[in-house]
Structures are given as structure tokens and as C-alpha cells.
A and B are shown apart, each in its own frame.
Chain A
């Protein structure tokens, strides 16, 4: 917790053990974002955290978690409204509680931003792939699709107008794609195994296997665990 944020001057002199209990109750009973856990498979916060980490570490772009993003945005909005609302009594507990909540909001917003940013970084890095390849195109949200399209157009016209248009016709095309990084599915990632999986095949040519047990943390090629990540049996770190 971040006590720098507290208005220490307002600390009442009679701040006793009783008050402390009251404060604790207040904090525990108002943890809205965590309380909205319906599926039972971890809270929203945990989900967006996993999503952000997975997206950051995976070499390819993963499926867009539209529902999760909408839920998080919704929760953040209602939480913000609550703490910006008028105070009934301007009491120390409420001020303190608002600080905690504001911090919580800031940190969850960070996770959401980090998630969306990692995606934009990947879209820019491999932009032409997302326009040409249907599988990847479908993983984007509608706004991301728009972004990918305009970005690809922009890059192409920039290369063309800055340089390529001055070249002879036979050599002035086809290079935009060569300038985009390829998606390397054989990159190594660090992943944590969430449930017992047993043996998985690492390489179909050499017949190598690895045993994955619950809570193992392994450094492994992305390709063999690609489907496990989609199924939610492993998470990336």
C-alpha cells in the first residue's frame, strides 16, 4: 500500500484500534472489482493480468479478449464514478479509502493499457501480415482492423513517396512486405503450467518429449505450447 498518498495532516488524534477495525471493514466490503467474479475462475483483475502477460510474451498476436476488455472498462467506469461522487461526510476513512481505490483503478488501467499497447506494437511490427492473412486478421478487434489497414497504407505510401517512386518500374515494388518482420513461432518463451498435461511432443522430427506438470515453470519453444496457451492450460511469464 502507498501511504505517501494519504493526507496525513487529517489524521485524527483519537485514531484508535476501534477505528482501525472500522477502516478494515470499509476496505474489505468495497472491493468492487474483485467482487464481480462470477465464473469462479479467478477475478477480472487476475484475468486481465494474465492476458496482458500472455500478449506481451507471445511472439504472435493472440485472440482479442473483447468481453474481458469491455467488462474491465465497465468496472473502471463505475468505480471512478463512485469515488468522484459527493462525499456524505468528509471523513478520514473515506478519504483514505478513496486513495486506495484510486490506486487500484490506476493499476488496473495500467494492465488494460499494457494489454492494448502490446497488441498495437505487434500490429505495427507485422502490419502487412494482418491485412493479407485471414487467420490473423480475424484476431483483431474492429478498431484494430481499421488501425492495421490505415497503418499499412500509410507505410506503403511513405516508402513510395519518399523513395520508391523514383526507381524504374521493374524494381520499385514488392519491398514493403520484405521490410516487415516475420512472425517467429519458434521463439523461446517462459511459461507456467497451470494443470497437469503430461508428455508433449517438442519436435516431430527428433521425437523429443517434455513432461509438463502442474506449476512447472519452463523455458520452451512457443510452437509446441501454442495450442495449450489457447486452451488456457499454460500461461506465459
Chain B
């Protein structure tokens, strides 16, 4: 029984501060094991004459619980990874770093794309950008920011599109550059 493997999988996920690589191998093995356990149950039934099936009781129950438990563990693994991925989408929008993306399973990449679609759709519907101000209510209107990579100034006023050169410092509207700061393109100088 590879129960300990499933537990190790969950522990790895909960102990890690970032998203560990998707363990497709263990997920597949656990699925295989559930299939085996399931066919064991069927086999037990097939081998035992109808009259004697009562004494199968505990061995069937134990196998059923093994299946339920393994299934639950893997689903918990998938769900908790999804939660991390969703959080990444909220916090970093579309600029999730390449090295984090590499840890996604193939289906998780698809999940992110589709989740992004439905969330963007919702945000367009309500017309309010929900991904701003995730840290708490705004305290100041302008902040001092240092440019870590060349980028263009977003925003809706006449300064939009102004080029910010790497290494320079600017006094900018907080609401315009919040996304760039979270993405690590700008640094908030306190």
C-alpha cells in the first residue's frame, strides 16, 4: 500500500512556501492502486460462494476505506494546488514567473488559462478591477518607486505610456503602478 506516499505528497505541499513541482507519478500510481484495490474487491466477491460472503465483511470494508482515503488525499492535493494557482493569478495577474509555471502540471496550466478567462470575464462584466488594493485600503496617493526593469507607465491620464528607465526613481500615482510593484518591475522606496 502506498498510503504513506500520498501523505508525503500532501506534507510536501503544506510545508512548502511556494508551489512544489506537480507529482504526476504519484497521482498516477495512486490511481493505479485504487484500480487494483477495486479489482481485488470484485475478485473476492467472485471467488466466494454467495452463502459465505458474510465473512468477507472486514476485508471488503478495509479496501473500501483505502479507496476512499486515497481518492480524498489526491483530490485534496489537487484542490490545494489549485488554491495556490488561483492566488498567483490574483496577485500577479498575467506575470507569473517562468520558474513557478514550470512546476505546474499539464492540466494545471490549462486550469490557469481557463480560470483567468472566467475571472477576466467577470471583472469586465462588473467593470471594477478587483485585483487592485489586495493589501488593504490605500493610504497615500503618490509613492516613490525605483525602476528595476525598463517598462512603460500604465494608467489612464496623459502620462500613460511614458518610458521608465531602469535605475531611475520616480514619484508616481500608487494606483497606476501597484501591479508593476507586485510583479517586481518597480520597487517601492520607503
* Bound form: Cα–Cα A65–B119 in Å: 20
Give CA–CA (A140, B110) in the complex, Å. Answer: 27
Q: B167 contacts the other chain (Cβ, under 8 Å)?
A: no
- Alpha-carbon distance A119/B45, docked complex (angstroms): 49
13 contacts between A and B (CB under 8 A): A5-B140, A73-B128, A106-B138, A112-B128, A113-B130, A116-B128, A143-B125, A147-B122, A154-B111, A158-B108, A163-B78, A171-B38, A178-B72
- Known contacts A110-B138, A147-B122, A154 near B115 by CB under 8 Å: yes
**Closest CB of chain B to A114's CB: distance in Å?**
8
- Chain A residues with CB under 8 Å of chain B are 2, 4-5, 69, 73, 84, 99, 102-103, 106-107, 109-114, 116-117, 120, 124, 141, 143-144, 146-147, 150-151, 154-155, 158-159, 161-163, 166-168, 170-171, 175, 178-179
- Quick one: given A107-B137, A109-B128, A167-B71, are A154 and B142 in contact (CB under 8 Å)? no
A155 / chain B contacts, CB cutoff of 8 Å: 82
The residue on B at minimum CB distance from A168 is: B38
Verify A170–B38 contact, CB threshold 8 A. Answer: yes
Which residues from A are CB-within-8-Å of B111? Answer: 154, 158
| Top 9 A-B residue pairs of the complex, sorted by shortest distance between their CB atoms | A143-B125, A5-B141, A166-B31, A150-B118, A147-B122, A106-B138, A168-B38, A162-B107, A110-B133
B140 pairs with A2, CB closer than 8 A: yes
Contacts A4-B140, A103-B138; A120 near B130 (Cβ below 8 A): yes
User: B177 at the A/B interface (Cβ < 8 Å)?
Assistant: no
**Which residues of chain B have C-beta atoms less than 8 A from A144's C-beta?**
122
Determine whether the beta carbon of A73 is less than 8 Å from that of B71.
no
